[in-house]
Amino acid sequence: MKYNVLVLSTITYAMKGREILRKHGITAYVESVSIEKQGQSCGYGLYIPEKIEDAEEILAKYNIRVVERTVRK
């Protein structure tokens, strides 16, 4: 299954990432996501319906690190 959510470290990065992607013509929605890594129970991510590979590349150019890739439940 192809992933469609990029998990970020904070809500601040999620909101910043959403705005950056919108400026590049990519729709993204900030969502609370459940992650089970390193003792964390939740985090924030960007649900990206289309062009997720492009979105990930754009975020990397702006030094926004993706913690995990997952599927919207």
pLDDT digits (tens, 9 = 90+) for 31-70: 988 766 555 556 899 999 999 999 999 999 999 999 888 8
Max mean pLDDT among 7-16, 20-29, 39-48 falls in 20-29
Q: What pLDDT shows up at residue 35?
A: 63
Flag whether pLDDT at 4 surpasses 60.
yes
Note whether residue 71 is domain-resident: no
pLDDT given for residue 36 in this prediction: 61
Domain that includes residue 25, residue range: 19-46
In a domain, 36, yes or no: yes
The answer to whether residue 35 is domain-embedded is yes
Of 41, 44, 22, nearest to 33 by C-alpha is 44
Question: What CA–CA distance (Å, rounded) separates 21 from 28?
Answer: 7
In a domain, 28, yes or no: yes
With respect to residue 68, please indicate whether it lies within any of the assigned structural domains.
no
Whether 29 is covered by a domain: the verdict is yes
- What's the total number of domains in the chain? 1
Whether 27 is covered by a domain: the verdict is yes
Tokens 């729709």 identify what position? 27
Query: Which pLDDT belongs to residue 65?
Result: 92
